[in-house]
Amino acid sequence: MKAAHIITLLLWAFGIVNIFEPFAGWLYYFGFGIFYILLIAHLLECLIYRGKILKSHDSPFVAFSMTLLFGVIYLGSIKES
């Protein structure tokens, strides 16, 4: 697994843990911000790159899930036909 994948997963984990077990002080706001920035950015990528995602070799469910999780990191791995 590439470093970019690991960093993205760690950021998601930090944000999700903060939602279920909130951190104290500024870490709460930082985790809250990270989670929602990732969520909004990756949802927008799913909308903007919908055509590219549907043309990928993966099933649409897997392709959209990977885009929601990794964003442009996954989109860069989709080969253009």
Cut 0.75: pTM above it: yes
| pLDDT band, very low/low/confident/very high, at 77 (cuts 50, 70, 90) | confident
34-44 pLDDT, tens digit each: 999 999 999 99
Establish if 20 belongs to a structural domain.
yes
Establish if 25 belongs to a structural domain.
yes
Query: What is the torsional sign of CA 20, 21, 23, 27?
Result: negative
Q: How many independent structural domains does the chain possess?
A: 1
Establish if 80 belongs to a structural domain.
no
13-60 pLDDT, tens digit each: 999 999 999 999 999 999 999 999 999 999 999 999 999 999 999 999
Domain membership of residue 62 as a residue range: 3-75
Establish if 81 belongs to a structural domain.
no
Backbone torsions φ then ψ of 59, nearest 5 degrees? -65, 155
